[in-house]
Structure 1
Amino acid sequence: MQHYYDWHTFVAELRDSQPASIAGGCGGPKHYDTDCGPDTRWYGNEQGVGHETAWAVYKPSNAFPELPNPSYVPIYCDVSIRKGWFWHANEKPKSLAWLKTTYLQTVGMNCALQLNVPPNKDGLLEDSDVERVKEFGSWVKRTFSGTNLLSKAVSFSQRNNEIAGCFDPGNPDNTLDNDQTTFWTPYKDDPHVITFWVDTQKLTVCKGDSYYVTIMENIAFGQVIANHTIQIRSVNDESMSEWETIATGTTVGYKRIHPVNLLENINRDGVQLRIIITKTVLNAKPQLTNVALHKDADTYSTTCRTLPTKAYK
């Protein structure tokens, strides 16, 4: 059976009742990469799983050919909190652990998460579903809206020559101020590398805890990063160790979240952390508006390590 979707009529009705809303839909699985829009596009599955490479700048929808080519159409990943899209008495909501993984595989991979919570036979949301959503929302807020550990622990950056009263786009500290209107971009002849010197006296790492590095592009400028690597190395008065790679990826976009293992890499006098942008679209200069290190709020350990530092005299 072939379905016909009158997307223009749907969107016109939506714009009339909710002018600030975002519209997106799909004409079928064979056309998931183009037949969506006009504001968002579906990512081709209903499992809440994003793709490693996720471009929000994309060719226009088949249903909206009048859109510019390319267009900025952020991706959305949809999934249900239950086994299917509709409520059944014998089903239960998915676990909090599953939702956490889904968050990292969607929001953490430049997708918007569309979580379906179906009403029951009385037209109400099931109490167990509501409770699970609250638990999930609490975890997201406590983990990613809390203190950026880098903001507390960065002793100084590779560049720190901001002139009083002037915005210096080459200063990596611009990514630590929780302000999406400021950003870092390399100077004219500099490599596409942002480096932080971490004062390990101010960074406590605990065995058994989970940590995440979050990177965000300056979307007002566009999405240009095609490949990136996160590395760490030890530093002391006498020497520097070899760089160790703790995460790699392709696109970044609005947000990329990397789970990282810090305990094995933080046992040292001092630490340098760097992000290498190895490839960009048309060799454009990247712009990062946020770099953050967060600890999973639901992991706790009594075995922690605060290290002395000698590298920042």
Structure 2
Amino acid sequence: GMKGGIAVVKHHDGFCLWPTATTTHSILSSSSENARKTNIPRDFARAARKLNMKYGFYVSPWDLSSKYWGEKDADGNYTDNYAKKVFFPQCVELAKYGADQFEMWFDGATGGDHAGYYGGEYGGKGTTGYRKIDNAQTFYDMPNLRDSIHALLPNVIMWGLGGEVRWIGNEAGYSGETCWSMGNAENGDENGWLWHPGESDAKATTGGWFWKKNEKVLSAERLFQMYLETVGRNATLILNLPPDVNGLVPEATAKRMAELGNMLRTRLGVDLARKAVITASEERVAGQHRNYSVRNMTDGKRDTYWATNDGTTKASITLTWAKPTTVRYVQLMEHIKLGQRVRSFTVETSEDGVNFTQRATNIATTTIGYKRIIPLNGSTQKSYDGEGYKVRAMRITINDSKACPLIENLSVY
């Protein structure tokens, strides 16, 4: 059920999984005849299109194999040889594998403690080959790279050094319960001036980013928890699935991903809000070509939304069911094209449609953003345990918003 994938086609070791003109350290130098015929970016893009999935490539700026990486001239200043002769041409080569790429993933690595072989010179710490750069934006000439790649790939997002998506601040699969799409790290910054949404990269296995013999796959429950704590907290999730020595995703990993997909479809697949009567304390006055009806939140469309009038930053939305309905989650989505606004909200349920009890009281129900999923029992670890809540009504109250709230979707599961 995932929507896309990113293939790691060059990591810090500098080995390129496509026939590049920038280095001999690539599949063209492999001892395997089959490997020399391989082109991972080309084949990954083709496979993604067949599956109607988004795709992109991870290309490491750091390159332990290149003599140009971290190179300095006689005056001790960094040269631009690596940016011009290696990194920029590699990004251009990858751009040619599809104008519909959704993300180009630049790690933030700037050298350091890892031992390397820059152009054949051993680079262990304390030796003359040890290299570390102090200004990645300048060394990689990122402003020019961004402009050039966007000319080729208008809709691509550049992660990390590209400055268009932020690392969420950990590699454990969670973002902050309060998570603004501006600023940095797990929580962002409500007053940040740059749109900088969070992306969480996490390992789906115990062996690390690269395949290890005897590694285990995390349980489906643990992966589902990651989903709730990233996608369900206004971030995106990238699960790392390392191929084995045969170039295949191990059978156990594939099986576990299928289990996770089934879990997502079972737990977050049947939207009970579609069967409810929905009302709100206020609806924005309709325009000539658009209305802001409360029903826009349950029509399944991305271009419609409910809104209050200007100046109204508090409101309530109520769902009622004709029969008692068992609920476990509520999902909210702001119309993010017009910014992130909600600062605080609460969720309540009612067994009789009259008396309401607040749920998830131990969760910080502050921000919503692109998507917020609230387990009503207040636990992302045991979110599906028990019988759920049998209710006749649910009420979402927006207590504070930076401007009139705009809610695109309200789902109940």
Do the two structures share a fold, i.e. TM-score over 0.5?
yes
- How far is 1:160 from its partner? 7.7
Q: Give the Cα separation in 2 of the matches to 1:241 and 1:264.
A: 18
Aligned counterpart, 1:63:
none
- How far is 1:277 from its partner? 3.9
Instruction: Give the SS at the match of 2:338.
Output: coil
Change in 2 beyond 3 A, CA 1:147/1:157:
farther
Aligned counterpart, 1:174:
296
Aligned counterpart, 2:252:
128
Q: Give the Cα separation in 2 of the matches to 1:108 and 1:251.
A: 11
Kindly indicate whether residue 402 of structure 2 is the aligned counterpart of residue 288 of structure 1. Answer: no
Aligned counterpart, 2:99:
19
| 1:55 counterpart (180, 183, 200) | 180
Kindly indicate whether residue 338 of structure 2 is the aligned counterpart of residue 226 of structure 1. Answer: no
Change in 2 beyond 3 A, CA 1:275/1:118:
same
Change in 2 beyond 3 A, CA 1:227/1:155:
closer
Which aligned pairs between 1:105-124 and structure 2 lie closer than 5 A? Answer: 105-124=229-248
Query: After superposition, what is the alpha-carbon deviation per residue over 1:98-144, rounded to whole angstroms, capped at 9, x for unaligned?
Result: 11111101111111111111111111111000111111122223332
Aligned counterpart, 2:163:
38
Contact kept in structure 2, 1:183 and 1:290, CA below 8 Å: yes
Change in 2 beyond 3 A, CA 1:244/1:265:
farther
Change in 2 beyond 3 A, CA 1:151/1:35:
closer
Instruction: Give the SS at the match of 1:249.
Output: coil
Identical columns (%): 27
Q: Give the Cα separation in 1 of the matches to 2:179 and 2:284.
A: 34
Q: Give the Cα separation in 2 of the matches to 1:220 and 1:93.
A: 36
| 2:227 counterpart (81, 103, 127) | 103
Instruction: Give the SS at the match of 2:225.
Output: helix
Kindly indicate whether residue 277 of structure 2 is the aligned counterpart of residue 196 of structure 1. Answer: no
The amino acid of 1:177's aligned partner reads D
| 1:153 counterpart (261, 272, 276) | 276
- How far is 1:23 from its partner? 2.6
Q: Give the Cα separation in 2 of the matches to 1:234 and 1:189.
A: 33
Stretches of structure 2 lacking an aligned partner (at least 5 in a row): 1-59, 63-82, 111-133, 136-158, 185-191, 379-386
- How far is 1:250 from its partner? 2.0
Change in 2 beyond 3 A, CA 1:128/1:204:
same
Aligned counterpart, 2:150:
none
Contact kept in structure 1, 2:313 and 2:400, CA below 8 Å: no
Aligned counterpart, 2:194:
71
Change in 2 beyond 3 A, CA 1:123/1:50:
same
- How far is 1:181 from its partner? 0.7
Query: After superposition, what is the alpha-carbon deviation per residue over 1:66-93, rounded to whole angstroms, capped at 9, x for unaligned?
Result: xxx8333321101111111122221211
Instruction: Give the SS at the match of 2:259.
Output: helix
Equivalent residues, number: 266
Which aligned pairs between 1:235-254 and structure 2 lie closer than 5 A? Answer: 240-241=354-355, 244-247=358-361, 248-254=364-370
Query: After superposition, what is the alpha-carbon deviation per residue over 1:164-206, rounded to whole angstroms, capped at 9, x for unaligned?
Result: x96431x3221111111110111245452132141241x422x
Query: After superposition, what is the alpha-carbon deviation per residue over 1:196-217, rounded to whole angstroms, capped at 9, x for unaligned?
Result: 141241x422xxxx71110101
The amino acid of 2:355's aligned partner reads S
- How far is 1:265 from its partner? 6.2
Two-structure CA RMSD over aligned residues (Å): 3.5
Change in 2 beyond 3 A, CA 1:288/1:153:
same
Instruction: Give the SS at the match of 1:124.
Output: coil
Change in 2 beyond 3 A, CA 1:16/1:71:
farther
The amino acid of 1:27's aligned partner reads G
Larger relative contact order (Cα-Cα within 8 Å, sequence gap ≥ 6): 1
- How far is 1:20 from its partner? 3.0
Q: Give the Cα separation in 2 of the matches to 1:188 and 1:23.
A: 38
Contact kept in structure 2, 1:87 and 1:119, CA below 8 Å: yes
- How far is 1:151 from its partner? 1.5
Q: Give the Cα separation in 1 of the matches to 2:243 and 2:388.
A: 46
Rg comparison, structure with higher value: 2
- How far is 1:19 from its partner? 2.9
The amino acid of 2:178's aligned partner reads T
